[in-house]
Amino acid sequence: MTEAKLISSLNEENLSHFSKTFVPSRLLLGPGPSNAHPEVLNALSLNPIGHLDEAYISLMSDVQQLLRYTWQCNNRMTLPMSGTGSAAMEASIANFIEEGEKILIAKKGYFGERLVDMATRYKADVSVIEKPWGESFSYEEIKYEIETKKPAIFAIVHAETSSGVLQPLDGIGDICRKNNCLFLVDAVTSLGALELLIDKWKIDLAYSCSQKGLSCPPGLSPFTMNDRAEEKLSSRKTKVPNWYLDLSLLNKYWGSDRVYHHTAPVNMNFAIREGLRLIANEGLENVWHRHNTNAKKLWNGLESLGMELHVSEDYRLPTLTTVKIPPAVDGDGFRNHLLRNFGIEIGNGLGELSGKVWRIGLMGFNSSEENVDRLLNLFDTELKKYSIFESSTF
Ligand code: PLP
């Protein structure tokens, strides 16, 4: 062996600073990730098996079947993509847009803006309709825009995590079909937590994440598409300009052929199978009910402490509540206090709502009465300490 000197920032002295990996215990009540269910963590810690092993192939089929139930659809192409929610978001743009094609994006927050950014990078002809961060679009507004702009795709975020708005989707699928347009939905903060009926609402394409309603760590992004979307994909004139997210290549692995595309993150798929199984065991309607009930308890509790919610109850998002930071309170100071002294994370506002609201998430395993009570108690007892003024009135 030749004598080589390794380049390293590690030496005997500083190596001793690295103890075994340790992560503090946290209750994640922010915009995500949410805590993973203990059974999901058990599944995650199993030894990996080969991604073409017949036992794994069978597990893949289970994941697809359970995902179809959770999405409420019968779509053949239903799979968890490798990567966080943004991976399937990008796949939805990369596969269905060809240069110069029209996409209409309804933007009412940060994640609508991300869709615009992605569609622009893939050289779509992008039209945007906008609402202030905290409002939703009406059926009539969407109908008018689709009928006049005639896009090939209409995209909208179901649960806007930046503003705390739940967008009603019923009826939009019919408008899209009448106007020969695909209906694309971001369900990152709604899948496995809120009513979402892919087939009934005629949603052609949708994507989500693993780290919220599905009670898993981040790392997979569930995706589904129907026959209309498959038809559009197969009529592409140009190659999908993204190899990793090319759905026709992914289909060879997730479809009947099971041909290698990339090494599957097998442990994350063990985890998502478990998260989805837990949802199926509880029953989807019970899961939705639990999220709605716990959110209402939180809203009532915050209001009875004198706090103001950012979004009107008509379209308030049960998985993510935006509550106004009282003017007399140091918002970051209070958040840091909760994290450092109680191990509880809540989120700051994102983008234009930064410093104006806190974002409180109740998603998946974390949507429980016990967590709501714990947080409300802390708001009651600790918030006063972060008041800029002596008085505890906000
Ligand atoms: N869309 C929405 C509505 C989100 O809330 C998020 C992230 O929280 C994303 C997309 C992006 O997902 P990820 O951060 O998992 O890539």
Cα distance between residue 121 and residue 277, in whole Å: 37
Average pLDDT score over residue span 224-234: 97
The one-letter amino acid at 358: W
Cα distance between residue 175 and residue 152, in whole Å: 12
- All domains of the chain in start order, with CATH: 27-32+283-386 (3.90.1150.10), 38-281 (3.40.640.10)
Average pLDDT score over residue span 236-245: 97
Q: Whose CA is nearest to atom 15 of ligand 1?
A: 85
Confidence of residue 1 (pLDDT cuts 50, 70, 90): low
- Asked if pLDDT for residue 211 goes beyond 60, the answer is yes
34-54 tens-digit pLDDT: 999 999 999 999 999 999 999
Mean model confidence pLDDT for the chain: 95
Q: Whose CA is nearest to atom 5 of ligand 1?
A: 161
pLDDT score of 342: 98
The more confident residue out of 385 and 342 is 342
280-290 tens-digit pLDDT: 999 999 999 99
CB 88 within 8 A of CB 206: no
- Tell which atom from ligand 1 comes closest to the C-alpha of 161: 5
Pair type for strands 344-345 and 182-186: unpaired
Matching residue, tokens 């269905």: 96
pLDDT score of 12: 73
* Burial of 237 per CB tally in 10 Å (0-12, 13-18, 19+): exposed
Which residues, 6 or more positions from 389, have their beta carbon under 8 angstroms from its beta carbon?
328
253-281 tens-digit pLDDT: 999 889 999 999 999 999 999 999 999 99
Average pLDDT score over residue span 124-150: 98
Confidence of residue 23 (pLDDT cuts 50, 70, 90): very high
Which residues, 6 or more positions from 78, have their beta carbon under 8 angstroms from its beta carbon?
64, 67, 68, 71, 222, 223, 224, 225
Cα distance between residue 29 and residue 234, in whole Å: 42
- Asked if pLDDT for residue 390 goes beyond 70, the answer is no
- Asked if pLDDT for residue 223 goes beyond 90, the answer is yes
**What are the two backbone dihedrals, phi and then psi, of residue 54, each rounded to the nearest 5 degrees?**
-60, -30
pLDDT score of 386: 80
- Asked if pLDDT for residue 388 goes beyond 70, the answer is no
Cα distance between residue 201 and residue 315, in whole Å: 18
In 199-246, where does DSSP find H-type helix? Answer: 227-234
9-20 tens-digit pLDDT: 777 777 777 888
pLDDT score of 18: 80
State pTM to two decimals: 0.96
pLDDT score of 17: 79
Q: Whose CA is nearest to atom 6 of ligand 1?
A: 188
* Burial of 339 per CB tally in 10 Å (0-12, 13-18, 19+): middle
pLDDT score of 3: 66
* Among 17-26, 57-66, 149-158, 362-371, the least confident range: 17-26
**Which residues contact ligand 1 via a Cβ below 6 A?**
31-32, 84-86, 89, 111, 157, 161, 186, 188-189, 209, 218
Q: Which two tokens stand for residue 340?
A: 């450092």
- Tell which atom from ligand 1 comes closest to the C-alpha of 159: 3
Cα distance between residue 181 and residue 172, in whole Å: 11
CB 215 within 8 A of CB 21: no
Confidence of residue 56 (pLDDT cuts 50, 70, 90): very high
Ligand 1 centre to CA of 116 (Å) is: 14
Average pLDDT score over residue span 305-328: 96
76-121 tens-digit pLDDT: 999 999 999 999 999 999 999 999 999 999 999 999 999 999 999 9
Average pLDDT score over residue span 187-195: 98
Average pLDDT score over residue span 182-211: 98
Ligand 1 centre to CA of 188 (Å) is: 6
- Asked if pLDDT for residue 186 goes beyond 90, the answer is yes
